[in-house]
């Protein structure tokens, strides 16, 4: 089971779908950021799986996964800072009340 | 029976079911007695804690479930033969990003925020869409003929270092500058204005 690329890819797909659901359905901005982290991790899992099973990607997969991780860390930093800044102005973490640009 | 006892018993039974299912499958003969059992347990833990992240009411518990999910994913990386990436996952995700998320949760949760309504009103549509997405991904993966080898290729860490600092050194430097810019930008965006609201 752990020797088949398809199992890893389907696992990554399910985790990505869970993250998609969280991003679409949650109301809290930080929950949405956590769902984005889940989706990034799912993509990372698929990259690692390709690195482990495709011969030409053997070492490159790990390198790409590490770079994705660094970019995800940068994204989390900036995203959470933006959420905190908006919270300071609007006093709510719920995204459906961020409607200043809709009026 | 007090409520905490029920919770503890329920979680123990859930844990037993989590570990018992792959062992039972291995005894029946569906799974082989090697890393497969461990892989099954880790995959179960990852998917269930991922579901808990997106469905639980208390957002602090969501953050803690996210840490469990990342830990199980690090175990899967080890099984897939990428131990350095697993170590980086533990350091970066469990050690740094989860703590950052928990701090942001504690900074932004107000008592008067209505905690009862966790989901948007279109949550059902979102659920249908994501189930469809998972099915489409699974069908696509199954229908594609990947040029995959039969056994896993393990990545040695010294080999990884050679490739990272020889072939990818420019990307490495660019990413370090990107991280620096993100940190400075994060501090600038989140910092309190002089004389502004606290």
B6-48 pLDDT per residue, tens: 888 988 888 888 888 888 888 887 777 778 888 999 999 999 9
A18 with B88: Cβ contact below 8 A: no
Domain extent listing, chain B:
7-107, 156-198
**Inside any domain, residue A39:** yes
Q: How confident is the model at residue B108 (pLDDT cuts 50, 70, 90)?
A: confident
Residue B65 has pLDDT above 90, yes or no: yes
**Inside any domain, residue A102:** no
Which residues numbered 10-69 in A keep a CB inside 8 Å of some CB on B? 10-11, 13-22, 24-31, 33-35, 37-38, 41, 44-45, 48-49, 51-55, 58-63, 65-67, 69
The CATH number fitting domain B7-107, selected from 1.20.120.1200, 1.10.3470.10, 3.40.50.300, 3.20.20.70 = 1.20.120.1200
Q: Are A65 and A12 in contact (CB under 8 A)?
A: no
Which residue of A16, A25, A63 is in closest CB contact with B163? A63
Residue B114 has pLDDT above 70, yes or no: no
Kindly list the distances between the CA atom of residue B22 and the CA atoms of B34, B49, B70, in Å, as whole numbers in the listed order: 11, 17, 21
Residue B74 has pLDDT above 90, yes or no: yes
Predicted pLDDT at B175: 95
Comparing alpha-carbon positions, the chain B residue that sits nearest to A36 is: B54
Residues with Cβ within 8 Å of residue B43, at least 6 apart in sequence: A11, B72, B76
Which residues numbered 71-100 in A keep a CB inside 8 Å of some CB on B? 71-78, 80-85, 87-89, 91-94, 96
Which residue of B51, B76, B110 is in closest CB contact with A91? B110
Which residues numbered 150-169 in B keep a CB inside 8 Å of some CB on A? 150-155, 159-160, 163-164, 167-168
User: Mean pLDDT of all residues in chain A?
Assistant: 91
> Is B17 touching A (CB cutoff 8 A)?
no
Which whole number is the average pLDDT over B77-98? Answer: 93
Which ipTM did the prediction report?
0.92
CATH of the domain at A43: 1.10.287.3510
The parent domain of residue A25 ranges over 5-97
Which whole number is the average pLDDT over B152-178? Answer: 93
Residues with Cβ within 8 Å of residue B135, at least 6 apart in sequence: none
The structural domain count of chain A equals 1
Could you tell me the end-to-end alpha-carbon distance of chain B, in angstroms, rounded to an integer?
A: 45
Cβ contacts from A onto B, under 8 A: 262
**Inside any domain, residue A103:** no
- Torsions phi, psi for B57 (to 5 deg): -80, -45
Q: How confident is the model at residue B63 (pLDDT cuts 50, 70, 90)?
A: very high
In this predicted model, which residue has the larger pLDDT, B112 or A74?
Answer: A74
A78 with B137: Cβ contact below 8 A: no
**Inside any domain, residue A54:** yes
A54-86 pLDDT, tens digit per residue, is 988 889 999 999 999 999 999 999 999 999 998
Handedness of CA B171, A49, B163, B93 (dihedral sign): positive
Residue B115 has pLDDT above 90, yes or no: no
Nearest CA-CA distance, residue A22 and chain B, Å: 5
């Amino acid at each position: 089971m752990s020797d088949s690329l398809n199992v890893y890819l389907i696992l990554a797909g399910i985790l990505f779908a869970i993250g998609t659901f969280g991003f679409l359905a949650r109301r809290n901005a930080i929950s949405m950021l956590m769902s984005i982290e889940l989706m990034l991790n799912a993509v990372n899992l698929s990259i690692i799986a390709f690195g482990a099973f495709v011969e030409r990607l053997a070492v490159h997969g790990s390198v790409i996964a590490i770079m994705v991780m660094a970019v995800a860390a940068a994204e989390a930093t900036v995203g959470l800072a933006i959420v905190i800044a908006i919270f300071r102005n609007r006093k709510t973490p719920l995204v459906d009340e961020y409607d200043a640009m809709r009026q | 029976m007090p409520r905490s006892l029920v919770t503890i018993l329920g979680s123990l039974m859930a844990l037993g079911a989590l570990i018992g299912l792959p062992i039972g499958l291995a005894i029946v003969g569906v799974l082989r007695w090697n890393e497969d059992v461990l892989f099954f347990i880790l995959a179960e833990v990852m998917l269930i804690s991922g579901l808990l992240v997106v469905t639980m009411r208390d957002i602090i518990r969501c953050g803690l479930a996210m840490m469990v999910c990342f830990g199980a994913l690090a175990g899967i990386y080890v099984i897939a033969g990428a131990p350095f990436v697993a170590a980086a996952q533990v350091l970066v995700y469990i050690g740094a990003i989860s703590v950052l998320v928990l701090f942001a949760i504690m900074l932004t949760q107000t008592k008067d925020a209505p905690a009862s309504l966790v989901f948007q009103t279109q949550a059902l549509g979102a659920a249908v869409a994501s189930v469809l997405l998972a099915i489409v991904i699974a069908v696509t993966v199954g229908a594609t003929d990947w040029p995959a080898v039969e056994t896993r290729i393990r990545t040695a860490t010294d080999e990884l270092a050679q490739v990272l600092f020889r072939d990818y050194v420019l990307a490495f430097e660019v990413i370090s500058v990107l991280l620096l810019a993100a940190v400075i930008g994060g501090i600038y965006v989140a910092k309190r204005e002089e004389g502004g609201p606290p």
